[in-house]
């Protein structure tokens, strides 16, 4: 039944979902049309709002775009470091049954995603591959597509973790103003992490998801042996190879661990330079956090700096870290292309006052008790079309915050409601699954049925606690 369900959902997405950049273009044009229909703006007003200037319009999120790229790159690079690879291989030998195998992959992927979503995505993929390989070596038949699905589950918990875009972009006033504008940001005020990621509501919701997902994946393993597709049934790459790499580049990478013969090579390959620079960066990080006076005010810059420090240490040389970053940066194309359009959408909605009109309409059709749940559901839908958490915060954040002010709901709770909706439908959205699919050798339609079932259970869990709190 689950396999049939997965095939159906995958078929729907193949027929209805174009490339995410195409969706961003369509959303841009749709927003422009809505601005003309529902506001007093003239065509040139809309175009001007889209183009914007230094602090608004399509180039206003360049800093945010770079932050999102660094979340992915530093997490990916850390996941490919030798200590993490060794830990993955050691853990892969632990399961003794198919249910244990699926549960372990899901647990590791979810736990790592709470630290950093890029780390969770890549470690989850590596765990799925290595557990599948280890179980095949033991002669235990494990359904490999289920392991791959379990490796993707970190994308369902990440926004309640330490790399969550929305909660980390509301800790500083300049970040608030860049998304909400000065007037609305002044009404909302900054929100320390203790009120969002560190709140009891989020600890229960995110902590519960980290434990719920492994239990569900253990229960989802097929009972019929005929339905089981093992690791050996797939052409699984043992490492990531990018077709764009030239022969010279691949040869250069192959010799990174050779003994250096020149001074530049020694600087690139010696662990001392990496460790000394990591210590320097660590001192800068500590100084920056102390200056804040409250650890709850840390933002994406602090998280990315922490991941950079850990990556340098774990790779053990500048050359190996640069190699890992070169591989990781290939996943940033979607962010680079889409964020200027999301910023332009934000500029049009703000510049023509469409944001206020939508927020007012929402406030008139809901109340303080139902608004967080409605925000969660709407964010889950929006994520299908805006598959970036940072992009979604830029587009939907102003509407959500204005609605919170109008209805008297805690802005911090609304930030998390949006975050939960954004992460939920990643289980249906294949955009961020591409690195996992490349590492595991499976196809999107092989995993989406399982992730959809887990998504439904997670939606009920999140909805329950949004109502309770």
pLDDT tens-digit series, residues 311-323: 999 999 999 999 9
Q: Which has more confidence, 240 or 5?
A: 5
Q: Using the predicted structure, report yes or no on whether residue 12 has a pLDDT greater than 70.
A: no
Q: Report the alpha-carbon distance of residue 262 to residue 248 in Å, rounded.
A: 19
Q: What is the pLDDT of residue 430?
A: 66
Half-sphere exposure of 152 (CA within 13 A, CB side): 36
Written as six digits, the tokens of 315 are 């790779």
Q: What is the pLDDT of residue 242?
A: 37
Q: What is the pLDDT of residue 444?
A: 76
Q: What is the pLDDT of residue 85?
A: 87
Q: Are 209 and 157 in contact (CB under 8 A)?
A: yes
| 3-class SS of residue 367 | coil
> For 194, which DSSP code?
G
Least confident interval from 120-134, 400-414, 439-453: 439-453
Q: Report the alpha-carbon distance of residue 440 to residue 450 in Å, rounded.
A: 16
Q: Report the alpha-carbon distance of residue 161 to residue 419 in Å, rounded.
A: 10
Q: What is the pLDDT of residue 98?
A: 94
Please compute the mean of the pLDDT values over residues 23-35 and round it to a whole number.
Answer: 88
Tell me which residue of 156, 131, 157 sits closest to 145, measured CA to CA: 131
- Strand boundaries in 210-346, DSSP class E: none
> Long-range contacts made by residues 407-412, C-beta under 8 angstroms, separation at least 24?
407/363, 407/366, 407/367, 407/368, 407/371, 408/368, 409/368, 409/371, 409/372, 410/195, 411/170, 411/188, 411/189, 411/191, 412/170, 412/191, 412/195, 412/196, 412/199
Dump pLDDT digits (tens) for 212-265: 999 999 998 888 787 788 888 887 765 543 333 444 444 455 566 667 778 888
> For 259, which DSSP code?
P
Tell me which residue of 119, 80, 88 sits closest to 327, measured CA to CA: 80
pLDDT confidence bin for 415, thresholds 50/70/90: very high
DSSP string, 227-251: G---GGGS---SS---TT--HHHHH
Q: What is the pLDDT of residue 253?
A: 52
Q: What is the pLDDT of residue 357?
A: 80
The 3-state secondary structure of the chain reads CHHHHHHHHHHHHHHHCCCHHHHHHHHHHHHHHHHHHHCCCCHHHHHHHHHCCCCCCCCCCHHHHHHHHHHHHHHHHHHCCHHHHHHHHHHHCCCCCHHHHHHHHHHHHHHHHHHCHHHHHHHHHHHHHHHHHHHHHHCCCCCHHHHHHHHCHHHHCHHHCCCCHHHHCCCCHHHHHHHHCHHHHHHHCCCCHHHCCCCHHHHHHHHHHHHHHHHHHHHHCCCCHHHCCCHHHCCCCCCCCCCCCCHHHHHHHHCCCCCCCCHHHHHHHCHHHHHHHHHHHHHHHHHHHHHHCCHHHCCHHHHHHHHHHHHHHHHCCHHHHHHHHHHHHHHHHHHHHHHHHHHHHHHHHHHCCHHHHHHHHHHHHCCCCCHHHHHHHHHHHHHCCCCCHHHHHHHHHHHHHHHHHHHCCCHHHHHHHHHHHHHHHHHCCCHHHHHHHHHHCCCHHHHHHHHHHHHHHHHHHHHHHHHHC
Q: Using the predicted structure, report yes or no on whether residue 369 has a pLDDT greater than 60.
A: yes
Dump pLDDT digits (tens) for 279-314: 999 999 999 999 988 888 888 889 899 999 999 999
Q: Report the alpha-carbon distance of residue 375 to residue 411 in Å, rounded.
A: 12
Q: What is the pLDDT of residue 431?
A: 67
Q: Using the predicted structure, report yes or no on whether residue 182 has a pLDDT greater than 90.
A: no
Dump pLDDT digits (tens) for 123-152: 999 999 999 999 999 999 999 999 999 999
Q: Report the alpha-carbon distance of residue 385 to residue 258 in Å, rounded.
A: 46
Q: Which has more confidence, 259 or 206?
A: 206
pTM for the full predicted model:
0.81
| 3-class SS of residue 449 | helix
Q: Are 169 and 300 in contact (CB under 8 A)?
A: yes
Mean pLDDT score across all residues of the chain: 86
> Long-range contacts made by residues 279-284, C-beta under 8 angstroms, separation at least 24?
281/305, 281/308, 281/309, 281/312, 282/309
Helix (H) or strand (E) holding 196: none
């Amino acid at each position: 039944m689950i396999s049939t369900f997965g095939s159906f959902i995958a078929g729907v997405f193949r027929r209805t979902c174009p490339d995410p950049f195409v969706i961003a273009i369509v959303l841009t044009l749709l927003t422009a049309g809505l601005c003309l229909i529902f506001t007093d703006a003239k065509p040139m007003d809309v175009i001007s709002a889209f183009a914007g200037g230094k602090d608004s319009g399509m180039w206003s999120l360049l800093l945010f775009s770079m932050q999102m790229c660094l979340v992915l790159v530093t997490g990916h690079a850390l996941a490919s470091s030798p200590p993490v690879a060794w830990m993955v291989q050691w853990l892969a030998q632990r399961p003794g049954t198919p249910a244990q195998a699926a549960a372990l992959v899901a647990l590791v992927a979810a736990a790592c995603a709470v630290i950093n979503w890029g780390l969770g995505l890549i470690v989850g993929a590596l765990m799925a591959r290595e557990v599948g390989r280890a179980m095949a070596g033991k002669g235990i038949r494990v359904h490999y597509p289920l392991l791959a699905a379990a490796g993707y589950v970190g994308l369902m918990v990440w926004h309640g973790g330490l790399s969550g875009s929305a909660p980390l972009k509301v800790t500083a006033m300049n970040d608030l103003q860049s998304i909400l504008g000065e007037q609305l940001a002044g009404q909302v005020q900054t929100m320390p992490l203790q009120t969002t990621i560190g709140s009891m509501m989020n600890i229960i919701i995110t902590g519960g998801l980290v434990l719920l997902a492994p239990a569900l994946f253990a229960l989802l393993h097929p009972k019929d042996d005929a339905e089981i597709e093992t690791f050996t049934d797939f052409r699984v790459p043992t490492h990531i190879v990018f077709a764009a790499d030239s022969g010279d580049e691949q040869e250069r990478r192959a010799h990174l661990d050779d003994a250096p013969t020149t001074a530049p090579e020694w600087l690139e390959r010696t662990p001392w330079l990496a460790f000394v620079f990591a210590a320097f960066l660590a001192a800068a990080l500590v100084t920056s956090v102390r200056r804040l006076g409250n650890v709850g005010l840390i933002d994406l810059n602090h998280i990315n700096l922490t991941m950079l420090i850990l990556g340098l240490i774990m790779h053990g040389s500048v050359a190996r870290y640069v190699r890992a970053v070169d591989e990781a940066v290939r996943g940033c194309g979607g962010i680079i292309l889409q964020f200027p359009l999301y910023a332009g959408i934000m500029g049009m909605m703000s510049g023509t006052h469409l944001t206020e009109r939508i927020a007012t309409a929402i406030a008139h059709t809901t109340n303080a008790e139902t608004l967080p749940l409605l925000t969660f559901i709407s964010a889950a839908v929006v994520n299908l079309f805006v598959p970036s958490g940072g992009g979604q915060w830029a587009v939907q954040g102003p509407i959500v915050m204005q609605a919170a002010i109008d209805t008297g709901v805690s802005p911090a709770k609304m930030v998390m409601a949006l975050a939960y909706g954004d992460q939920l439908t990643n289980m249906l959205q294949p955009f961020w699954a591409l690195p996992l699919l490349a590492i595991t050798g499976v196809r999107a339609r092989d995993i989406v049925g399982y992730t959809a079932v887990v998504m439904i259970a997670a939606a009920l869990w999140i909805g329950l606690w949004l109502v309770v709190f």
